[in-house]
Amino acid sequence: MRTIRTAAAAFLLLLAATAFVTAQPSGSCCNSPGLVPAGQAGEPVFQDLPKSGKKCWIGEVNYFTWEFDKTPKMGTSILVIKLCDKDGKRVSDLAITGRSDMPSMRGAHDSGAVAFKTNRAGDYLLPVNVVMPGDWEVQLTFSRNGIVIFRGRIGLNV
């Protein structure tokens, strides 16, 4: 837990520094860059993931676990994903994006697809901004060499 907190703190600092340097207006919760181009037929399916800390298999080659740095509540929580090969060795050779929103008011707080960043330990980290109490979800997309190999979703009740 301690390493996660340290990693999360470092990550937030990095984010703050990036925001400062690029001097963009502070992020709105309602930006919707959109994952699926308009007019594309067929929404991708995101399967429900096992509970926090349980192994989620990606085919037979990789598995991962997910957890939040703290119980999600109003504000920013860091979603941490640890990716392993089938033998349990930590790897970070997949690209992961996360997209958070409230299913009951789809689009109202859509984060758009945001790339996880990896820390030195190889943990994948993504800040998730909860701006309203209720049901939230984070849609995860895993890619290898630009090709999507897995989609999953995490449901949250805040």
Binding of Cu ion by 30 (CB under 5 A): no
The structure tokens listed for 11 are 């990550």
C-beta of 48: minimal distance to Cu ion in Å?
Answer: 21
Nearer of residues 83 and 138 to Cu ion, judged by Cβ: 138
Q: How many amino acids of this chain bind Cu ion (CB under 5 A)?
A: 4
Nearer of residues 9 and 105 to Cu ion, judged by Cβ: 105
Contacts of 97 (CB under 8 A, 6+ apart): 113, 114, 115, 116, 140, 141, 143
- Per the CB < 8 A criterion, the answer to whether 46 and 100 are in contact is no
Nearer of residues 69 and 101 to Cu ion, judged by Cβ: 101
Nearer of residues 10 and 108 to Cu ion, judged by Cβ: 108
C-beta of 81: minimal distance to Cu ion in Å?
Answer: 24
- Per the CB < 8 A criterion, the answer to whether 113 and 99 are in contact is yes
Neighbours of 53 (CB within 10 A): 9
- Per the CB < 8 A criterion, the answer to whether 4 and 69 are in contact is yes
Binding of Cu ion by 132 (CB under 5 A): yes
| Choice from 16, 30, 105, 115 touching Cu ion (CB under 5 A) | 105
3-state secondary structure string across 9-54: HHHHHHHHHHHHHHCCCCCCCCCCCCCCCCCCCCCCCCEECCCCCC
| Choice from 7, 94, 102, 130 touching Cu ion (CB under 5 A) | 102
Binding of Cu ion by 74 (CB under 5 A): no
Nearer of residues 16 and 108 to Cu ion, judged by Cβ: 108
Residues that bind Cu ion (CB under 5 A): 102, 105, 108, 132
